[in-house]
Chain A
């Protein structure tokens, strides 16, 4: 086991942990986005509430969800540790700094962007996840399903509609998604470099899929509160 601990705690090991946890969270973004897009269906929330009911009660999803929390925490904690270690590697800084000449703004501000995302996740969980599981403030809503049966779901849809009628909340969500875009602008491609995957044969693919993650997906997420607010 010693070799494994020394591998994981080494400088390269930690960047590999950041890459693997980061890429797992990227896969979560895809699944979560598909669910969220149900919010845009004009069916009084039947699709979205069905989806929310499934997500909060399916035992497999619940297990993955716990793992997801653990991975977010691991990603943030390793980053915190790395940031402290890196700060101590340069005890006296430069009087003149010119990072813009040799690196992207994103790559130099991953800690700041990550902190914004962590705050966002906390607020986001409080708004919806906490209210569904522990808040008890969200009423039930009844629908008639395709077979004519009466079904009843927690009306998370209404809670989302209410939240996104508040311009401050909408602005906060859009701002956070911009931060996520910048975070992934560096993070997505960087994860592959950390895993040692840097080759002319697939660098183009990493760049193309990267565009999906740093632009298309954050834009799609940000569009949901905007569409709900303005429609």
Chain B
């Protein structure tokens, strides 16, 4: 079709977690500008499968920007050149005919590569398990209006709660720090009354878990917020710092 493009891809190929990987070049021919980035890779994989080659492994699920599965560093940027979207929401119209696109997996000690572009993000699950929840004992359902929450706080909590846990913040950070993810998860609960009973232990335990997973330290470059598909801001990291200082100064965990 007129307007279709030929693109050269340089894709990180790695057989499994124990082997060394390398960038391999592929030609994506006749790519429609209306295709999503993942559809373009699907097409490349069709060709590879027909040739009997191993297709490129990559994470994906909902393909509408809400599940947080897709995870590609495209030309040095997590989720590609556009801001506020995930890789699945990126379209080939953002590229030009003849472009060479380099695709790499998230790079962090806490996110080991399993295969090609697929990384193990269970470190994030363990950070959540360390305190990113509220304990609600069973009983009758409480009336929704019984707990007063200001509109401002509920909006801020919701801003934090939009985090889909994709890990782009870690991938973007020069220190491979998970501080934006951690701050979003701590913020959403610390802003709401339901999160208050476990507030102090939560921030202490979740930060400890983040360190144990081998993520780096935050140096406030702000790269995470720019690359975050949900545009979670730096103010949440400041809130995390406040939560941590307050918890350390007054929690019962001596």
Contact = CB atoms under 8 A, between A and B. Distances in A.
Interface of B is mostly: mixed
Given A90-B176, A90-B216, A186-B220, A3 B207 contact: no
A94 B76 contact: yes
A133 B217 CA distance: 40
Contact of A86 (B217, B253, B254): B217
B242 A102 contact: no
Contacts of A97: 76
Interface stretch (B43-51, B87-95, B233-241): B233-241
A12 interface: yes
What is the interface of chain A mostly: helix, strand, loop, or mixed?
helix
Contacts of B27: none
A151 B1 CA distance: 92
Report, as a range, how many residues of chain B touch the other chain.
35 or more
A194 B241 contact: yes
Interface in A94-149: 94-99, 101-104, 107-108, 110
B37 to A, nearest CB: 16
A93 B105 CA distance: 10
| Interface size class of chain A, counting residues whose CB lies under 8 Å from the partner chain | 35 or more
Contacts of A99: 76, 174, 221, 223
B185 to A, nearest CB: 15
16 contacts: A11-B207, A11-B211, A13-B244, A15-B218, A15-B220, A82-B217, A85-B216, A89-B109, A89-B175, A90-B107, A93-B107, A94-B76, A98-B75, A107-B222, A108-B174, A193-B238
